[in-house]
Structure 1
Amino acid sequence: MNIFVINAGSSSVKYQLFKMPAEKPICSGLIERIGLPDSIITHKIFSNGEENITRAELPLPDHQMALLEVVKLLTEPGIGIIQDPAEIGVVGHRVVHGGERFSETTIISPEVKEEIKQLISLAPLHNPGNFQGIEVAEKLFPHATQIAVFDTAFHQTMPEKAFRYAVPTNLYHELGVRVYGFHGTSHKYVAEKAANYLNKPEAKIITIHLGNGCSIAAVKAGKCIDTSMGFTPLDGLIMGTRSGAIDASVVFYLASKAGLTVEQIDILLNRKSGMLGLTGFSDMREVQKARDAGDADAHLAYEMYAYRIQKYIGSYVAALNGLDALVFTAGVGENDALTRELVCSNMTFFGLQIDLNKNAERSSELREINSDAATTKILIIPTNEELEIANQCVQLLA
């Protein structure tokens, strides 16, 4: 079964093509800067242990033109891996927000599309791109089964005491004001990998997804019981451009004292805060360079970033009543040794003790970085949201 996985953002599209049940993709790609005259497409084909890369810069004004270019690459004589788009049996879509309505992977129908559209107000930065990806894929792959995999679905197992806010009850029942959580596809994937590695299905695991967006989840016996992102992806950990958890009164203060509008405050907290607001850089690699050069703001930002994660670890150990493994994943979690070192320092009460030599090693495989004396495993597990989406599509159609 050929499953084409699309992860469409507002100005980008990530994709992978799987020939299931094989878990290695036969091609993958990234389209960046959609809507600009210098859009970039990087297309990789994997064959006989080799990787062939096609890279091009060209104007791609919208998602339809971007995905049309992908179809050309997939079918182009000489480098194509299929002859006709009809060979794609399933298209799996990442959809960020599924609200309470979607707690499982779902075949996309006109009714499902309409409900996804209604949820745009809850994820205005993500769901519009996800929705566009669905509409374009329906045109380009008309014979394929279109399936939605929701980032929020994994967190729907949280108990009510964890997902409710202490606001008037009618705001929950009438407007859906509650904790939804995000990055669920990633948290689910690495939590399952960790439980399998530990050979302990009932394991108590904390998964930490650190990229430009950051979240942490408490997982017990494969079920999420709490997570840091809330009603939107703004809450919780400090992120690349998002503030993370903040006193709600700051919003009122900025409106009354600084004269900022709701829209301006939204932009401030979502796009101009976090590491960007603290250091001037949203990319942790740039922040680390500044820190290494002696920049005091960058040094403080790293301390704040790690300390916020530590506080969540402590609260989630309490929620789980124990801990078998701490898992780092995503771009920063997998590649930033300094972040991992700072997060795991002074955490011996929880059995966490990092081995600095193991932590400094680079690998694309699942690995332990805890010391031999540690009583709790510290794991780095590369995430693969696209593979998880493909697997969920297969399970749904089985």
Structure 2
Amino acid sequence: MHILVINSGSSSLKYQLFAMPSDQPLCVGQVERIGLDGSFVRHQVTGADRLERTEPIADHAVGLQRVLELLSDPVSGVISSPDVIEAIGHRVVHGGESFASATRITPAVKETIKALFPLAPLHNPINYLCIEIAETTFPRATQIAVFDTAFHQTMPEYAFRYAIPEALYRQEGIRVYGFHGTSHRYVSKKAAAWLNKPDAKLISIHLGNGSSITAVRAGQSVDTSMGFSPLAGLVMGTRSGDIDPAVIFHLISRGYSPDDVNRLLNKQSGMQGLTGFSDMRDIRKAMEAGDQAATLAYELYAYRVRKYIGAYAAILNGLDALIFTAGIGENDATMRAMICNELAFLNIYLDPDKNTTSSRQIRDISATDSPVKILVVPTNEELEIAQQSYELLQST
């Protein structure tokens, strides 16, 4: 079964094509800087050289049409026509309380995605647009939505409710939704299988430009750091993470507009605000060059992660493994060490030599006698979307 996975952002479109049930993609690619100067496409058939071209991509409709051309190209393609694609799995950021699993897209589902635009104004409109374009570009394919928030729908009410008047939850939908759910589900499933323990107590730590941490028990999310929006929780590339709400009122009283504060906390804070850099690789370079602001930011970042690990270990009443994933989690050995080196009270012990090894496979970097395992699990959201889409179609 040929399943195309589309992961769309505000100016990007990533895709992978799978012949399910194989977990190896036939090809992968991305369209970047859509609607901007310097837009380009990358396309790589598995086992072949990568194709990369700079060309104007005016909008997502043009981008998806370009994807179709690349997929069916006589030289670089892997399909004979759009009709070969039997299903398209779409990453949709926000599903509210309406969706707890992969969902076949119908007019009613599309209306619900539209109704959630106010909760994810930067993402859901683009996700919706790509669904509509895909319906035209691949008219015979079944369209399926996989929601970032779905994995967290298993959280108990005492974990997802805020201590505010109930009417704000019932009428305005103000609650913890959580994000990065597709990634957390994928890596926690992989870790439980590796441990051969379906009921494992896990803490999944997704560290990238956006970062979140999730407590997982027996394959279900029981708490997560991102909240009503992706702003809450850990320190991130440009987002502040947790902050006293009174800071917002103070800034407004000092002349900042609500839009100013929103931009400040989402785009100008986090590591960017602390150091002038949002990319952890740049911060590492600055730190190694003796930049004190970079050193402080690096320590602060690790400190916030440790705080959540302690809290989630308490919530889970014990722990089988920590999972590090995403760009920083998978690749920054120094950050992993800084996070783990003061967790001995939780029986978490890192092996320094294992920690510096590199692999695209799941690996154990804990000390041999560490009761709690420390795992690095490369995430693969596109594969998870393909698998959920395939399982949905197989069951109906």
TM range (shorter): over 0.9
AA at the equivalent of 2:120: A
The corresponding residue for 1:318 is 314
Q: 1:96-107 to 2 correspondence within 5 Å?
A: 96-107=93-104
- Give the distance between the partners of 2:303 and 2:7, measured in 1 at CA: 31
CA contact (8 A) 1:37 1:58 kept: no
Q: 1:115-264 to 2 correspondence within 5 Å?
A: 115-257=112-254, 259-264=255-260
CA contact (8 A) 1:329 1:381 kept: yes
- Give the distance between the partners of 1:120 and 1:304, measured in 2 at CA: 33
- Give the distance between the partners of 1:5 and 1:205, measured in 2 at CA: 27
What does the per-residue CA deviation read over 1:107-149, in whole Å, with 9 as the maximum and x for residues that have no partner? Answer: 1111111110111111112112211211111110011000000
Secondary structure of the equivalent of 2:197? coil
Gaps of 5+ in 1: none
The corresponding residue for 1:11 is 11
AA at the equivalent of 2:245: A
AA at the equivalent of 1:317: A
The corresponding residue for 1:344 is 340
The corresponding residue for 1:371 is 367
User: After TM superposition, where is structure 1 displaced by more than 4 Å over at least 4 residues in a row?
Assistant: none
What does the per-residue CA deviation read over 1:217-266, in whole Å, with 9 as the maximum and x for residues that have no partner? Answer: 00001111000000000000000110000001111011111x11111111
In the alignment, does 2:382 pair up with 1:386?
A: yes
- 1:103 CA drift (Å): 1.3
Gaps of 5+ in 2: none
- 1:37 CA drift (Å): 3.0
Residues 320 and 386 of structure 1: is their aligned pair in 2 closer, same or farther, counting only changes over 3 Å? Answer: same
In the alignment, does 2:32 pair up with 1:32?
A: yes
TM-score (norm: length of structure 1): 0.98
- 1:386 CA drift (Å): 0.4
CA contact (8 A) 1:210 1:330 kept: yes
AA at the equivalent of 2:44: K
**Which residue, out of 275, 286, 289, partners 1:290?**
286
- 1:52 CA drift (Å): 2.1
- 1:51 CA drift (Å): 3.3
The corresponding residue for 2:90 is 93
CA contact (8 A) 1:116 1:127 kept: yes
- Give the distance between the partners of 2:353 and 2:392, measured in 1 at CA: 42
- 1:277 CA drift (Å): 0.6
- Give the distance between the partners of 1:364 and 1:105, measured in 2 at CA: 27
Secondary structure of the equivalent of 1:326? strand
Secondary structure of the equivalent of 1:51? coil
AA at the equivalent of 2:22: A
- Give the distance between the partners of 2:190 and 2:337, measured in 1 at CA: 22
- Give the distance between the partners of 1:300 and 1:318, measured in 2 at CA: 27
Number of aligned pairs?
394
- Give the distance between the partners of 2:167 and 2:107, measured in 1 at CA: 29
AA at the equivalent of 1:248: P
* Cα RMSD after superposing both structures: 0.7
- 1:40 CA drift (Å): 1.4
TM-score (norm: length of structure 2): 0.99
In the alignment, does 2:246 pair up with 1:270?
A: no
- Give the distance between the partners of 2:239 and 2:192, measured in 1 at CA: 31
CA contact (8 A) 1:186 1:383 kept: yes
Secondary structure of the equivalent of 1:91? strand
Secondary structure of the equivalent of 2:130? helix
- 1:373 CA drift (Å): 2.6
Secondary structure of the equivalent of 2:48? strand
Secondary structure of the equivalent of 1:52? coil
- Give the distance between the partners of 1:135 and 1:211, measured in 2 at CA: 29
Q: Aligned residues: percent identity?
A: 58
- Give the distance between the partners of 1:298 and 1:11, measured in 2 at CA: 29
- Give the distance between the partners of 1:79 and 1:173, measured in 2 at CA: 51
CA contact (8 A) 1:37 1:61 kept: no
- Give the distance between the partners of 1:15 and 1:79, measured in 2 at CA: 15
- Give the distance between the partners of 1:254 and 1:392, measured in 2 at CA: 44
The corresponding residue for 1:354 is 350
- Give the distance between the partners of 1:78 and 1:58, measured in 2 at CA: 19
